[in-house]
Amino acid sequence: MRRKIIAGNWKMNKNPNEALELINTLKDSINADNCDVVFAVPHINLLLAKEALNGTKIEVAAQNIHFENDGAYTGEISASMLKSVGIKYVIIGHSERREYFGETDIIVNKKVKKALEYDITPIICVGETLIQREQGITIDLVRLQTRIALDGVSNEDARRSVIAYEPIWAIGTGRVATPDQAEEVCAAIRRVVSEIYNDDIACDMRIQYGGSVNAANAKELFSMPNIDGGLVGGASLKPEFANVVNY
């Protein structure tokens, strides 16, 4: 039985004071006994979030890493830096990084491998635009994104990786995929993982849905057989996030 994983993607929101306030509001009302709960915070809040969540079961994630170990990469942060302060997750290849910062599937793959090298679990984002959905290429596209992201990743590293299916048309739009639409693509991702590796790994790998998840729709989405939780943007910045997690 796969354990659900629900991650809040704070994006570029909350200064340290606001972050502390949000964490203190959420931490006691979130029940992380039955699923993994992760707060993906801006880099400036990583350390304070770790400290504020100390003693809880909630983990902290970064929203990006660089694929090199260190060096002349102004503005970047490395997997080893995250590892050194106990960060266990990182979001990789979010559609906003792909769209605004030119992240390609190849770059995503390099970052995935670097995160895994440092024992950091990548939450790998894949998903189609509205035009691509209308063209009927969603499944082909997501299969390809998944294949490239996992290229050269070992069986055991794949098993512990997380994939987030995030249709771009549903992100921040309030237009959520129907449970059937989300399930169809998450099931297709699981099938391609099985083709690359085997059924056993595909069965263990956790696949999230993301895109306008909120307290009202979480239960229906997370109850689908191939949806193992969610990556939550807007609703993770509100007290409502506790209801998403305790759906």
Q: Give the footprint of ligand PGA on this chain (CB under 6 A).
A: 9, 166, 171-172, 210-213, 231-235
Q: Which residue is closest to ligand PGA by CB?
A: 233
Catalytic residue status for 94: yes
- Whichever of 109 and 217 has its CB closer to ligand PGA, that residue is 217
**Are 207 and 226 spatial neighbours (Cβ–Cβ below 8 Å)?**
yes
Q: How far is the CB of 197 from ligand PGA (least distance, A)?
A: 25
Sequence-distant (≥ 6) Cβ neighbours of residue 74 within 8 angstroms:
none
CA angle 120, 148, 128 (to 5 degrees): 100
Q: How far is the CB of 195 from ligand PGA (least distance, A)?
A: 26
Catalytic residue status for 195: no
First-to-last CA distance in the chain?
18
Catalytic residue among 66, 94, 103, 183: 94
Q: How far is the CB of 167 from ligand PGA (least distance, A)?
A: 10
Q: How many CB atoms lie within 10 A of CB 191?
A: 16
Catalytic residue among 96, 103, 128, 166: 166
Q: How far is the CB of 210 from ligand PGA (least distance, A)?
A: 4
- Could you tell me where the DSSP H helices lie in the chain? 16-27, 46-52, 79-84, 95-101, 105-117, 130-134, 138-149, 155-160, 179-196, 199-204, 218-222, 241-245
- Whichever of 235 and 242 has its CB closer to ligand PGA, that residue is 235
- Whichever of 172 and 239 has its CB closer to ligand PGA, that residue is 172
Residues with active-site annotation: 94, 166
